[in-house]
């Protein structure tokens, strides 16, 4: 079964890559020749030198390539221009033009963002979440959510689980009660429903919070990124699959005014590069997950494989938390209804 999943994903990746290549080849060269050079700044989510940051380097390089070098994006690592928690307002205000973000950071203010970043106990495969974005109107709904803030949602980067890293063993859902944890977005609401005292820390503060005992557990990124960030040193239990975040979407978000000034071919370059990087990073994670788990074990960590039946039994309670997270807001409710309908079609929900 595992091999068949890999084959299916490889085939889907090949199709997506072929589509992106075709899109790139249709750019009008005369339009490029008439376009002036555009220079943007972008702040990403990740520290310099880490695997996901290297894929942001691929993104900006691809945008430059697709535009004949006329669209230059200077990339900064997390916190290099402004602290991560201030990126939303900084891009909105025009301090820089583009950010890579996790929509869930702002879910407390904009409920729709809870569902465009991850669905705890929800989509089991990254292809399912990406299909919702590209085939069922998810990108358009994300753009509707960002528009009132003067921001433009370009595209998601979709990958799989974010594991749970813990200083204490978590072998069943009941073990969550009374623990302190770092979660953001919808995961914050859902984990709170299971008795976790939630602290929504920025990604860059996860290591120190675990190290100092401020929290007992946390999510942060994929297995490889978290190992590179040193979490094996401060949390000796790795719980997979990450039921709190079984699939993940980070996003490219631009200042709306700056985006609207771009020529059509530059906008297309952003979309094509974003989708290429999404597939490439996901495949990299898929290949490296097994090797990363071995590295955690070599560092003395215990890898806890969470029971599927335990996750399934807890899903109804999680679904109640999904509804709570909409806060009755119309667009958030519409997004949840769309996702729930698709999960039912996929057989994930009864």
pLDDT value, residue 84: 87
Residue 123 lies inside a defined structural domain of this protein: yes
Is residue 101 predicted with pLDDT exceeding 60?
yes
pLDDT value, residue 9: 39
- Residue 116: pLDDT band (50, 70, 90) is very high
Average pLDDT over residues 234-240: 97
Q: Which tens digit of pLDDT belongs to each residue from 265-288? A: 999 999 999 999 999 999 999 999
Same domain, 145 and 64: yes
Same domain, 71 and 187: no
N-terminal to C-terminal alpha carbon distance within the chain: 23
pLDDT value, residue 28: 35
Residue 151 lies inside a defined structural domain of this protein: yes
Same domain, 133 and 26: yes
Same domain, 207 and 96: no
Same domain, 29 and 106: yes
**Cβ contact 106:296 at 8 Å:** no
Average pLDDT over residues 224-250: 95
Residue 330 lies inside a defined structural domain of this protein: yes
CATH number for position 200: 3.40.190.170
Q: Regarding predicted confidence, which is higher, 292 or 5? A: 292
Average pLDDT over residues 234-263: 96
| Strand 164-166 relative to strand 237-240, pairing | antiparallel
Same domain, 209 and 126: no
Same domain, 234 and 276: no
**Cβ contact 222:280 at 8 Å:** no
Same domain, 58 and 137: yes
Average pLDDT, the chain: 90
Q: Which tens digit of pLDDT belongs to each residue from 20-78? A: 443 443 333 333 434 489 999 999 999 899 999 999 999 999 999 999 999 999 999 99
**CA–CA distance from 196 to each of 55, 102, 121, 129, 157 (Å)?**
33, 21, 16, 26, 28
Is residue 118 predicted with pLDDT exceeding 90?
yes
pLDDT value, residue 135: 98
Q: Which tens digit of pLDDT belongs to each residue from 297-321? A: 999 999 999 999 999 999 999 999 9
pLDDT value, residue 99: 98
Residue 350 lies inside a defined structural domain of this protein: no
Same domain, 116 and 27: yes
Same domain, 176 and 70: no
Give the Cα separation of 220 and 69 in Å (integer). Answer: 34
DSSP-derived secondary structure letter, 233: H
Q: Which tens digit of pLDDT belongs to each residue from 182-207? A: 999 999 999 999 999 999 888 889 99
Same domain, 18 and 36: yes
Give the Cα separation of 242 and 281 in Å (integer). Answer: 18
pLDDT value, residue 242: 93
Q: Which tens digit of pLDDT belongs to each residue from 122-141? A: 999 999 999 999 999 999 99
Residue 45 lies inside a defined structural domain of this protein: yes
Q: How many folded domains does the chain comprise?
A: 2
Give the domain range for residue 230: 164-245+290-345
């Amino acid at each position: 079964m595992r091999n068949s999943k890999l084959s299916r994903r490889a085939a889907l990746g090949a199709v997506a890559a072929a589509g992106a290549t075709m899109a790139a080849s249709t750019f009008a060269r005369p339009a490029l020749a008439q376009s002036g050079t555009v220079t943007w700044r972008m702040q990403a989510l990740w520290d310099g030198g880490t695997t996901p940051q290297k894929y942001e380097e691929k993104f900006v390089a691809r945008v430059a390539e697709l535009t004949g070098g006329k669209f230059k994006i200077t990339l900064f690592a997390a916190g290099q221009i402004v602290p991560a928690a201030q990126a939303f307002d900084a891009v909105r205000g025009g301090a820089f033009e583009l950010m890579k973000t996790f929509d869930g950071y702002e879910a407390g203010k904009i409920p729709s963002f809870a569902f465009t970043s991850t669905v705890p106990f929800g989509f089991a495969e990254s292809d399912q979440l990406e299909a919702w974005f590209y085939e069922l109107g998810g990108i358009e709904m994300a753009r509707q959510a960002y528009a009132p803030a003067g921001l433009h949602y370009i595209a998601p980067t979709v990958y799989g689980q974010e594991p749970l890293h813990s200083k204490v063993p978590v072998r069943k859902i009941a073990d969550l009660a009374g623990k302190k944890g770092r979660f953001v977005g919808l995961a914050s609401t859902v984990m709170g429903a299971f008795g976790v005292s939630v602290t929504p820390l920025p990604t860059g503060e996860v290591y120190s919070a675990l190290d100092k005992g401020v929290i007992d557990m946390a999510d942060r990124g994929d297995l490889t990124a978290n190992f590179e960030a040193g979490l094996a040193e401060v949390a000796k239990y790795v719980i997979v699959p990450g039921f709190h975040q079984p699939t993940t979407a980070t996003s490219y978000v631009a200042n709306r005014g700056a985006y609207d000034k771009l020529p059509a071919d530059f906008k297309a370059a952003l979309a094509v590069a974003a989708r290429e990087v999404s597939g490439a990073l996901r495949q990299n994670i898929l290949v490296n997950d097994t090797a990363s788990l071995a590295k955690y074990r070599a560092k003395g960590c215990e890898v806890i494989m969470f029971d599927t039946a335990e996750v399934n039994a807890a899903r109804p309670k999680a679904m109640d938390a999904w509804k709570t997270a909409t806060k009755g807001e119309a667009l958030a409710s519409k997004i949840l209804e769309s996702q729930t309908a698709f999960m039912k079609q996929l057989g994930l929900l009864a």
